[in-house]
Amino acid sequence: MRKGLALCAFVATLAGCAGTPTHDSTGAQLPTGVTLLKSEKDSCTGVVHVDRGTSDSNEIVVRAGQNASFKVDEEPVGWTCIGETKAQSDRLSCPTRTSYVRITRPAAGDDFLVECYGRAAS
């Protein structure tokens, strides 16, 4: 009986985790072979609007529970938090080898993580 309860608790935990996945709003994935070069945590009570640092006009907005992965041509990568009462802007200076950035926001809370990825130094 105890094994059965433990198994049910384990399955319920997995079901809860599977029910709250993060969604990549860009539909992009990081390419194979890139390495995490730098990361920085910040917070935003609203949505995060990303300045990709490219001439591409595709707008990226990251809401709670979403991720965004995108190629960057220039740095620093800028973002603006568009909150309920004010807008706040900031920039993350990524290492020069950075070619991709990923922003991750959990479904709950105001925190988000900005990560710079690129090829490792030889």
DSSP string, 41-57: EEE-SSEEEEE-SSS--
pLDDT at 1: 43
Sheet with 47-51, strands from edge to edge, namely 60-62, 47-51, 77-82, 87-92
Give the whole-angstrom CA distance, residue 88 versus residue 84. Answer: 11
**Do the bridges between strand 23-24 and strand 66-71 make them parallel or antiparallel, or are there none, so unpaired?**
parallel
Task: Round to the nearest angstrom and report the end-to-end CA distance of the chain.
Answer: 56
**pTM value?**
0.69
Q: Which residues contact 35 (CB under 8 A, 6 or more apart)?
A: 117, 118, 119, 120
- Token pair recorded at residue 95: 């290492």
pLDDT at 86: 75
Predicted confidence pLDDT, tens digits, the chain (122 residues):
444 433 333 333 333 333 333 445 556 678 888 999 999 999 998 999 987 655 555 678 999 999 999 888 776 788 889 987 778 888 888 888 888 999 999 999 999 999 999 987 76
